[in-house]
Structure 1
């Protein structure tokens, strides 16, 4: 009985709340209309101000003339350009072999060629080779494979045309301003087009052997923030490569071939075939984005710098416990040599600093001389204009061309982040920068919301009244 009375009371209260709400809503509409009317008057006055001045009035709207003298020019054109000064490589018409049956002017391949030429532009190719140029050139090779075989059942290029197509690609890139030493810089050959020793090189066999739906689902959209630590596409590619390379391994084992079989060659060649299949099924832009993210995951796991034996640094810093001019001078001299090598990412800088620190600890330097000598992460990369280090972003980036500033790239860090000192002298070649998985609290179950019949009516009414309050706040 008490429940019935409470329900009637709440029902009557609900009617009252609804009446009050509708009255308030009508009032709100009147206020809104007045405010909009005021805005219209403001706009009309702005329209009057925006009208062109009558003839004979002050020429405030005359065209602005910009003198060519304001454009940046290097004052000594006969001398070599300073590091990282804007450059504008000349473009020319390439001389092709005429033996590669591909329309290089097709947008799908021409746009990727343009991007690769920009990322591997002549003066910057060696500096950004590890992080930008070579990953983009590798992506171009995979995409070209898929583009070449788009109208056929094949996934690789025939040996007869592989050399010619590769030569044409290098010629086109060079004609668009790219460095002609890309093949040597990136260690990619024309044989990468042919599939090498991989036994599966056609669509039909590939699709019979591999779960292609799973592969394309994993690699059609690659998450740049998750793929490196919680990979989805990488294991799918590896699994597909293992499946098609396993066919050849089984054949070799059955034939009892003499000598040791190098299964790694089969696997690497078959990974190229998998990349070709993905390129064939995705758009060139989507494939390029996916391949660049996968390359970023790979390059950010290792330090690309070369460290000579730091004997002088060890001798000068072995027994220091406080800032020492001789120790810091020796350390700065050594790091100055490192700074001439290449641009690296922020994650690579962490690995490089840890690697070099472990070398010093292995030589007997136990004190954190990074802290004593104010060594930052950016000190391990090339210094822009000799003043400040530049660390590239760990996510895929490109060299940007601008008509006024030439070719440039985006630096990720401009502040002073101390270089990490290792906790042990154990040598490292790579390290993971992925944090542990975060555990989220369990979601509430339906048991949490179970109540008796009387209380449910009251709770429902309170929620409804609270909703009215929220609506009122939002409308105001």
Structure 2
């Protein structure tokens, strides 16, 4: 603490040794934040994504706009997002669900989901934290309840009461009771729907289960989203048990079936259930959350209204313009009231909005002219600092002294990317197709010193733990 109170650094002090340590290690330079962070002017070159051959099968998790909180006064600061303390009570269960919810494994999973979907925060972190964890819980519960039988799904008569009990238990532990609406999940998701294979023995006769388990037992969180292994194995298994693989091999046009996507998704739910039955809860939950991250980080979850006023004010500008920047800032202030997004989603959102402006005739990079950063596209914590969540799976953290909180990433000012064209259909955030920004040099950080308030130094240490690379 003495270092933070003393503006002057001494050569032999632990403070300066640590500062030199972080200055010399380029691995950490790209995430270092200072009291007055400098802008990195270029983020990525948008390149074509690797062809997976399965476009449309991994759509983002849906989040209902009906549950997103409305903030009618954009100029006002947000209320603090913590401390918040949950109120717990004994849930009233239906008594018709054939499962013991007090068993430690399923109870721990319910606790984790209740924390990630805590009532005050669920709508703000739904797309990135709550819904992926809730979807994983449903898959794991489906496998858990079928462990003592040959089934992979719940019978229709058990699905409704079990789903109702899950929501009641989550709400009793502090979760938002509107999770089903928030995450677009229904009790029918527990039944396997229209998938023709719903039992172990038939599943194992059709699917190469050894290959499936090998692909999904350990999912590489850095590689899976760009070089899918588990995702492809799940889709292949779903195609096989749906009977569609043979039709595809025979060149039949199954894509024209009205319910083809729903049909395949029902069978993917059965595959998830089989994995939940064979893997440990922890391994299954980790795998499912990583797969969800791959989905949510492919698409911008924000809603953009027609930016006609921004286009009118910025169409012909070539230099900083007060009227253009004012109009742009007002528009972005509205976007900031929607939800917390990840750093990767912010890149896509910024590019998407930029392409809308280019279609309207705004050719100049007004992000640069008006100092628009990636963090400007997410909720502003306390109305001052933009918060971007990490692109990898993250959880809401509960502490008895501070309440619920979450970790923000990209605390420095990364410039929002201006698109090179009106289309972003070929955008990829996958290495080696993309180019990461140049790392800051030691020259850039030569005057880092000790900060009397301790802010810059604390953020460096904090970044050491949470931000080892720019995007991951």
- State TM-score, norm by structure 2: 0.72
Structure 1's consecutive aligned runs of 4 or more residues displaced over 4 angstroms after TM superposition are: 247-250
Provide the aligned length of Structure 1 versus Structure 2: 352
Measure the CA separation in 1 of the matches of 2:121 and 2:86. 11
1:94 to 1:217, Cα distance in 2 relative to 1, 3 A: same
Would you say 1:436 and 2:432 are equivalent positions? yes
SS of 1:85's partner is coil
Residue 312 (structure 2) aligns with: 315
Q: How does 1:285-364 map to 2 (within 5 A)?
A: 285-364=282-361
Would you say 1:121 and 2:118 are equivalent positions? yes
Deviation (angstroms), 1:361: 0.4
Deviation (angstroms), 1:425: 1.2
Deviation (angstroms), 1:85: 3.0
Deviation (angstroms), 1:367: 0.3
Measure the CA separation in 1 of the matches of 2:426 and 2:127. 15
Partners of 1:199 and 1:248 within 8 A in 2? no
Partners of 1:222 and 1:233 within 8 A in 2? yes
Deviation (angstroms), 1:403: 0.9
Would you say 1:147 and 2:155 are equivalent positions? no
Partners of 2:78 and 2:382 within 8 A in 1? no
Deviation (angstroms), 1:430: 7.7
Would you say 1:272 and 2:269 are equivalent positions? yes
Would you say 1:196 and 2:172 are equivalent positions? no
Partners of 2:78 and 2:380 within 8 A in 1? no
Measure the CA separation in 1 of the matches of 2:297 and 2:426. 9
Deviation (angstroms), 1:261: 5.3
Measure the CA separation in 2 of the matches of 1:184 and 1:261. 24
Deviation (angstroms), 1:437: 6.9
Measure the CA separation in 2 of the matches of 1:196 and 1:405. 42
Deviation (angstroms), 1:247: 6.1
Partners of 1:198 and 1:245 within 8 A in 2? yes
Q: How does 1:408-447 map to 2 (within 5 A)?
A: 408-426=405-423, 428=424, 431-436=427-432
Partners of 1:198 and 1:248 within 8 A in 2? no
The structure with the larger Rg is: 1
Measure the CA separation in 1 of the matches of 2:340 and 2:200. 40
1:92 to 1:297, Cα distance in 2 relative to 1, 3 A: same
Measure the CA separation in 2 of the matches of 1:323 and 1:341. 27
Measure the CA separation in 2 of the matches of 1:224 and 1:110. 26
Measure the CA separation in 2 of the matches of 1:207 and 1:280. 13
Q: Cα deviations across residues 163-185 of structure 1 (Å, max 9, x unaligned)?
A: 00000000000000000110000
Partners of 2:367 and 2:416 within 8 A in 1? yes
Partners of 1:399 and 1:407 within 8 A in 2? yes
Deviation (angstroms), 1:436: 2.6
Residue 177 (structure 2) aligns with: 180
Structure 2 alignment gaps of length 5 or more: 1-76, 251-255, 435-472
Measure the CA separation in 1 of the matches of 2:94 and 2:246. 37
- State TM-score, norm by structure 1: 0.72
Deviation (angstroms), 1:105: 0.7
Measure the CA separation in 2 of the matches of 1:168 and 1:146. 16
Measure the CA separation in 2 of the matches of 1:430 and 1:400. 36
1:431 to 1:106, Cα distance in 2 relative to 1, 3 A: farther
Deviation (angstroms), 1:283: 0.7
SS of 1:412's partner is coil
Residue 16 (structure 1) aligns with: none
Measure the CA separation in 2 of the matches of 1:81 and 1:338. 14
Q: Cα deviations across residues 369-404 of structure 1 (Å, max 9, x unaligned)?
A: 000000000000000100000000000000000111
Would you say 1:95 and 2:92 are equivalent positions? yes
1:131 to 112, 125, 128: 128
- Cα RMSD after superposing both structures: 1.9
Structure 1 alignment gaps of length 5 or more: 1-79, 254-258, 439-476
Q: Which has the higher contact order (CA 8 A, sep 6+)?
A: 2
2:153 to 151, 156, 166: 156
Measure the CA separation in 1 of the matches of 2:116 and 2:137. 11
Measure the CA separation in 1 of the matches of 2:246 and 2:89. 47
Deviation (angstroms), 1:343: 0.3
Partners of 2:128 and 2:293 within 8 A in 1? yes
1:248 to 1:100, Cα distance in 2 relative to 1, 3 A: farther
Partners of 2:137 and 2:285 within 8 A in 1? yes
Partners of 1:120 and 1:179 within 8 A in 2? yes
Measure the CA separation in 2 of the matches of 1:311 and 1:268. 38
Partners of 1:378 and 1:416 within 8 A in 2? yes
